[in-house]
A and B are shown apart, each in its own frame.
Chain A
């Protein structure tokens, strides 16, 4: 297991380097400079050159790339152009909190409701609750989360005034965005759980469990759920990451100072170092979550052996 994880971390670094390189060169293809375009164009040409010189933007792209990679290797992601002079890592860290809180809450809500719905739907196949779950699943996947966010904001926040409409002042502010984000999670997890459970409930070992005299609840919980959960764990990886990136619209609607809005702003302003910083952050987070998912597999299903461990059997 340890060797496997070490190997995966090496792969992680290689993957990151490839992502960094691609993003770096693509980003340089974007028109414009990190500086305010109107005011920058008013400056005399020698001052323009001076400014570009100061930030090393006059060097050939390949030199800039080399310098950047060296700095990253030292753990220095540079300073933001937009948030004048603040280190990028600081800017990102300051914005992670709200996004992480909303994302985490959305996953917890979606996971628990989704699992329960999926299990009941499969258990009571072709019943009212099964159809209800399928409707929820289709709605949850097809209705974009910003529509849900806007509706929730209008009714619960504005009309009934139960929860804050927007802004980031107390924990209460995180409820509506979390709920808005959780819909699609609920839908996806319910659907995957239901499909897999239906399959598992047909398996011979479920009949064995019934023949032992277990009641339906025990059959479901001890024998069906654990064997059905692998696909859910699989999609949970992308979901976790998606909630951080995809929360962009929701963060905007609720005026939350999260990492999603930071990402968009950085692209709009050609804030090179911030774009790169967030890319590194997202990609390493994604790859890390994938690693966790793969390790979880082997914990859930003993038949799955992690690669370097496989020889013994």
Chain B
């Protein structure tokens, strides 16, 4: 395969005082050059931990228990820390959720951009670094780049800071940009601006994006492909159209149904009943079984395999299984 990034059966365990949390359980996906993959799921579904595992930025108590991450033939999960440092910021960059806390408060904006450039291009002179940093500030659409260069984060608004963070992330023209809920902490008008900026810059520097979000509106706006995570597992992946219009997994259906609709008045908002599974002691079967309106006995006992619905679209649900279709008829009759 000529994928840029290939994640295979990734398992991440996090050690806590109460026990080991199996935060990511056998996640596999690939990322093609220039595409935008959205990883969707609610809090605690393992989205952030998945990408932190890819970046090698897991917290001290977390580790990749199993699985591989390949980027252009290099196995990232086996690289020594020193090699990984060369990749971070240069080949894979990351944007974080909260622009208010993601910048160093005691360092000027310019210095923070120059730092990543200097790290990966020690050959650049001070003047070149400054020039490039200012260029980068201009690129992300901030006015008065020269003034911004010397300002501290607290002198900028949230949206401006997120632009600075994007400037840092894209300074070395990375092949992959991982955006971990980049718009969650921003207000709605700014959200749209930041998404537009990301799309625009993706075109300019030809980078692939992994976007983590729980906001399906954002997904529809920017993603080419969607991966839905639940309980540390990928439950459905497919092209944007597949997932939005040929929705296969009951969890994805639930997520889509939960989006407030503007034209329907006086409607109570739909929510999926129940709570996500405890990943300290994950269920044997499908993680969604406890909340699924279509639960069958088999769901609780065995984890369903992926069913390929088309070349690009697959989902892990017993309802889609060949055998379930016949059984399902009986089940429906019995019910």
List residues of A whose CB falls within 8 A of some B CB. 125, 203-205, 207-215, 218, 222-223, 226-227, 300-303, 313
B106 touches A300 (CB 8 A): yes
Given contacts A204-B96, A205-B101, A212 and B89 within 8 Å (CB-CB): yes
- Contacts A203-B101, A204-B98 given: A213-B106 contact, CB under 8 Å? no
Looking across the interface, which residue of chain B has its beta carbon closest to that of A300?
B106
Q: A205-B102, A205-B104, A302-B105 are in contact. Are A213 and B152 (CB under 8 A)?
A: no
B169 partner residues in chain A, CB cutoff 8 A: 211
What are some 23 contacts across the A-B interface (CB < 8 A)?
A125-B60, A203-B101, A204-B97, A205-B101, A205-B102, A205-B103, A207-B102, A208-B96, A208-B104, A208-B165, A211-B88, A211-B89, A211-B93, A211-B94, A212-B88, A212-B119, A213-B88, A213-B90, A214-B85, A222-B107, A301-B105, A303-B106, A313-B155
CB-CB contacts of B92-129 with A at 8 A, as 1s and 0s? 01101110011111110000000110011000000000
Let me know if B85 and A215 touch, CB within 8 A: yes
For the A-B complex with A205-B102, A212-B88, A215-B82 known, give 16 more contacts whose Cβ atoms are closer than 8 Å. A204-B102, A205-B103, A208-B104, A211-B89, A211-B93, A211-B94, A211-B96, A212-B115, A212-B119, A222-B104, A223-B104, A227-B104, A227-B105, A300-B106, A303-B105, A303-B106
Query: Given contacts A204-B96, A210-B57, A212-B116, are A226 and B82 in contact (CB under 8 A)?
Result: no
**How far apart are the CA atoms of A5 and B55 in the complex, in Å?**
48
**Which residue among B102, B104, B120, B152 has the maximum number of chain A CB atoms within 10 Å of its CB?**
B104
> Known: A212-B119, A212-B168, A213-B87. Is A227-B96 also a contact (CB below 8 A)?
no
Q: Does B33 contact A (CB under 8 A)?
A: no
Which residue of A has the minimal Cβ distance to B154? Answer: A303
Residue of B82, B87, B101, B116 near A204 (CB, 8 A) is B101
Q: Which residues of B contact A227 (CB under 8 A)?
A: 104-106
**Which of the residues B101, B103, B120, B165 comes within 8 Å of A213, measured between beta carbons?**
B120
- Does B155 contact A213, Cβ atoms closer than 8 Å? no
Contact, CB under 8 Å: A210 / B101: no
What is the interface of chain B, defined by CB distance below 8 A to chain A? Answer: 55, 57, 60, 82, 85-90, 93-94, 96-98, 101-107, 115-116, 119-120, 152, 154-155, 165, 168-169
Tell me, in angstroms, the Cα distance from A207 to B90 when the chains sit together. 15
Distance between Cα atoms of A185 and B56 in the complex (Å)? 38
User: In whole Å, how far is B14's beta carbon from the nearest beta carbon of chain A?
Assistant: 15
Consensus secondary structure, chain A interface? helix
Which residues of chain A are within 8 angstroms of B119 by Cβ–Cβ distance?
212-214, 218
Please provide the 9 A-B residue pairs with the shortest distance between their CB atoms, ordered closest to farther.
A213-B89, A213-B88, A204-B101, A212-B89, A212-B116, A211-B94, A302-B152, A204-B102, A205-B104
Docked pose: A218 CA to B165 CA in angstroms: 19
A211 near B152: Cβ-Cβ < 8 Å: no
**Shortest CB distance B17–A (Å):** 12
Q: A300 to B152, alpha carbons, bound, how many Å?
A: 12
Q: Provide the residues of chain B in CB contact with A213, threshold 8 Å.
A: 85-90, 116, 119-120
The CA of A213 and the CA of B57, in the complex, are separated in Å by 10
Other-chain contact of A211, B55, B97, B98, B155 (Cβ < 8 Å):
B55
CA distance A210 to B60 in the complex (A): 13
Compute how far the CA of A13 lies from the CA of B104 in the bound complex, rounded to whole angstroms. Answer: 38
For residue B85, which residues in chain A have a CB less than 8 angstroms away from its CB? 213-215
**Complex: how many Å from CA A222 to CA B115?**
10
